[in-house]
Chains A and B, each alone.
Chain A
């Protein structure tokens, strides 16, 4: 299934150049991103880490077209998104990007199956049956499809959310603290699933996290502090990530954000 030739790997699924994002005005101005440039290679699993207020969530939101930037440029594939009007941006998110949120954000009125196919329904497209089966099997929820979110555990809900993100075969999947609301066992399941998406489907994944264990599931960690990239770490281990975080002057650990 995976055909990661050298040229494919070299092409970026997402790219940003000199991103600057400020909040507030006058004396109260906070610079969340201060000239960030990075590339996300296709088929890669990247983690963005940093202490609270380092700008990691802002970076993801700007990369994914959820938020505007003050200067700099951002691309999804070859499409520059920085100046895109809302309508096209919405369509881009719908068709080319998948999202997984910390608090699952499933619709309580829909069953698991309804939540999974929601992006297709919104777009008015039919589901590709085979792909849907593949996705549902991958997240291991074939026997839970008729359940409402309130009848599922946190881990199961997050797996539904991942299936929802995968169902439209996005070019890139953004996960914002996907394990923030989960216990360690459920976290491991979700992270393993994300890794398998990369391995088995060639899915590009960008994950924002503050958990060194979570970050260690990725292929490459980008460290952010005060709105700037302060380093990267390939093939991370929890211990190595923790060391880097300590060096950034902030003890990383669960329950901080």
Chain B
């Protein structure tokens, strides 16, 4: 039995290869995501440990639990420079230097920012041990005001040589420096893809308003003193709130923190790999169904010769298992290549990490293999079960599969499953059930529609195929008939595409709605006409800019808004804004629901209606906000506002913000001025190349830019699922061509041209693809609308359907269907006519 299975498989290499590829892609994607994230973690670990190589102990402000560590710009609270004397006096300290850091954007020779990545500014440590973090590549370190050393990657990008003058935007404002040298960070040419500007300590202190202060102090132990010993000794001379940690544990905790964020990335990728595998499962299921259908005679013969049902079942499953193993191994290899490609892509984008080889996590790869094999075998169970139903007498009958009759049971079952899926989705979104329930619901919905598929396929094929009947030579009509003749096959083939498209459309609707919400909120705030913000994300603009703008002729009023990433009531990465309580109402209507804006002035917090209702907060409640090492502030809610406008969901006063967060730059200046003031504003900003002037539409676009990036990323990831679905179409068509050998031969004999034959197969492919796209679009619209309502319901339900975009996806699906038909059509055209007629 097993030998027969292997022989049978080898006899159909092309079909085997296509089916295997469908699974291999999913497995490969899964393996690649694990390999890539493991490699990234490893790279970052080594980056941090390289950076800390010259230091034994770091002295910095203590970040209390729940305050959140500064992944955003939320502050590292500076320590007093006077501490350094006490630390240097501790026995066992060989050297101690203060570190100053901030944000600085390197400008190109054209005066524009060199890149859009982040840019850090650092101080050059006077003592040799700490200089080991930087690898000097050329020139000399900065010594004195007006001197700077930059990373080698940026110097190459900007075409700067030692001795050149370079402009650097700090807080948006351009300042001129002389380039004294270039440096790397560890073995890398840059610091994780960002740029690096290194000043001497005094210059850095002056530039970032930290005179007499350091962000941290690095300490080096004398020979014979361990890092832990040194840490304990240094700790004794520190004031309360300032702590000493070993450099190794600081690096480890930084790495750990990034790792947690990468963990999300891992699940993100794994989710898409799961989608790809699911689509692959549909392809396997369909391919095996067709194969069982075509092999009815062979199976019946086996049964006639005495094979038991169990043997037939195991025979089909054995075939699936073999295929699964081969495909998954191929997939794992593919995954390694894919991960390498991703790494190359990242470094092409300037995110160069220390050169490390790929890290191959064995358990993750084994898991991908197991997933691939399991999915293949499980998908083959229904066809294998059907194979056991083949009666021996069918060896003597016609093997042409017959179209399924209308089945009330199928209708009922399909509806029940689809409704159950929809309920799960809604329960997940609105009933407070975990998000995984929503995902399970979506999958259940897909299954339900797939069960209904054979009932839908015939009418859908009839409608979709109708415009194609105008094709010459009856090719379109024949294609339509072919798509309708086996609704099970058509629907199963379309179902794979449906899943990919449903997810793409759902994400498009969700992102479109979120964008609409953002721009709606900014439009609702018609009082602000211009926005000035940093060109490079979170580089900030200098507080001095607000008064510069206010002095521009025609400008009525300017107010600065500060912003940071903070931990609010235990949830990390919340955006908190600092605003001027006296002025903010002039710029945005806020739509106050309870409390007063004036409460800001007395150090209270304003929260948006949406966050208040999701946390069940009322005016008077006290909320904890953690600002990095600035610690936690307990703020009373002084008001609840309805219109978020250009602001965040949490507002505090500018004064509270500055003292609590330590942020020394503004995030955006709101400007009230007539349109005509634009030219004058631009003129005033000439000295601030790190700042940009935006109107309402531009500001809305910049706030939504991250959403567009996410949408594109998700669509790129889902494209893989679509490609797998297309492989399924190719497979189905190829199997159908084989099955219809005689018909195709007859058509050629009675005068159908090869091109007409190709057109007929292409038309059938397009019909299948459009059915999948149509079903997917309908499901996606439903899912997307549900997601959008869930996301926006607290801020005014917004559901935006990007119709043009979705239309484009459907057209793309139809074109992809055309693409899928190429190989089967060629095969059909090349088919030997005589063999075709003779085939029995």
Q: Is the CB of B743 within 8 A of A95?
A: no
Which residues of the other chain, A, contact B220 by a CB distance below 8 angstroms? none
A201 interfacial contact with B, CB 8 Å = no
A2 interfacial contact with B, CB 8 Å = no
Which residues of the other chain, A, contact B140 by a CB distance below 8 angstroms? none
Which residues of the other chain, A, contact B753 by a CB distance below 8 angstroms? 87, 90-91
Q: Is the CB of A90 within 8 A of B472?
A: no
Which residues of the other chain, B, contact A93 by a CB distance below 8 angstroms? 749-751
Q: Which of B742, B749, B751 contacts A123 (CB 8 A)?
A: B751
Q: Which of A95, A105, A121, A164 contacts B837 (CB 8 A)?
A: A105
Q: Which of A61, A95, A108, A110 contacts B751 (CB 8 A)?
A: A95
State the CA gap A224–B61 with chains docked (Å).
105
Q: Is the CB of A121 within 8 A of B834?
A: no
B298, chain A: closest CB distance, angstroms: 20
B458, chain A: closest CB distance, angstroms: 12
B248 interfacial contact with A, CB 8 Å = no
Q: Is the CB of B750 within 8 A of A122?
A: yes
1/0 per position for B12-38, CB-CB distance to A under 8 A?
A: 000000000000000000000000000
State the CA gap A118–B750 with chains docked (Å).
9
A99 interfacial contact with B, CB 8 Å = yes
Among B308-316, B479-487, B809-817, which stretch is in contact with chain A? B479-487
Q: Is the CB of B485 within 8 A of A108?
A: yes
1/0 per position for A100-126, CB-CB distance to B under 8 A?
A: 010101011110000000110111100
A83 interfacial contact with B, CB 8 Å = no
Pick the most buried of A101, A122, A176: most chain B CB atoms within 10 A of its CB: A122
- Known A-B contacts A61-B834, A90-B751; the reply to A123 vs B743 at CB < 8 A is no
1/0 per position for B740-768, CB-CB distance to A under 8 A?
A: 00110111111111101000000000000
B768, chain A: closest CB distance, angstroms: 15
- Known A-B contacts A93-B751, A121-B473, A123-B751; the reply to A109 vs B482 at CB < 8 A is yes
B400 interfacial contact with A, CB 8 Å = yes
Q: Is the CB of B837 within 8 A of A122?
A: no
B494 interfacial contact with A, CB 8 Å = no
State the CA gap A97–B485 with chains docked (Å).
29
Interface footprint category on B: 20 to 34
Q: Which of A90, A103, A109 contacts B484 (CB 8 A)?
A: A109
Q: Is the CB of A109 within 8 A of B473?
A: no
- Known A-B contacts A121-B473, A122-B474; the reply to A107 vs B756 at CB < 8 A is no
Q: Is the CB of A122 within 8 A of B751?
A: yes
A192 interfacial contact with B, CB 8 Å = no
B478 interfacial contact with A, CB 8 Å = yes
Q: Which of B485, B743, B756 contacts A105 (CB 8 A)?
A: B743
B59, chain A: closest CB distance, angstroms: 82
Q: Is the CB of A121 within 8 A of B485?
A: no
A183 interfacial contact with B, CB 8 Å = no
Q: Which residue of A lies closest to B485 (CB)?
A: A109
Q: Is the CB of A86 within 8 A of B749?
A: no
State the CA gap A87–B749 with chains docked (Å).
12
Q: Which of B477, B749, B756, B840 contacts A66 (CB 8 A)?
A: B749
State the CA gap A95–B837 with chains docked (Å).
19
A67 interfacial contact with B, CB 8 Å = yes
State the CA gap A17–B756 with chains docked (Å).
33
B753, chain A: closest CB distance, angstroms: 5
B823-840 interface with A by 8 A CB criterion: 833-834, 837, 840
Which residues of the other chain, A, contact B474 by a CB distance below 8 angstroms? 118, 121-122
Q: Is the CB of A123 within 8 A of B473?
A: yes
Q: Is the CB of A109 within 8 A of B752?
A: no
A126-184 interface with B by 8 A CB criterion: 164-165, 176
Which residues of the other chain, B, contact A22 by a CB distance below 8 angstroms? none
A76, chain B: closest CB distance, angstroms: 13
Q: Is the CB of B746 within 8 A of A101?
A: yes
B residues in contact (CB < 8 Å) with A:
400, 472-474, 477-478, 481-482, 484-485, 742-743, 745-754, 756, 833-834, 837, 840
A residues in contact (CB < 8 Å) with B:
61, 66-67, 86-87, 90-91, 93-95, 97-99, 101, 103, 105, 107-110, 118-119, 121-124, 164-165, 176
Query: Which 9 A/B pairs are nearest by Cβ-Cβ distance?
Result: A94-B751, A109-B481, A121-B474, A105-B746, A122-B473, A93-B751, A122-B752, A124-B472, A109-B485
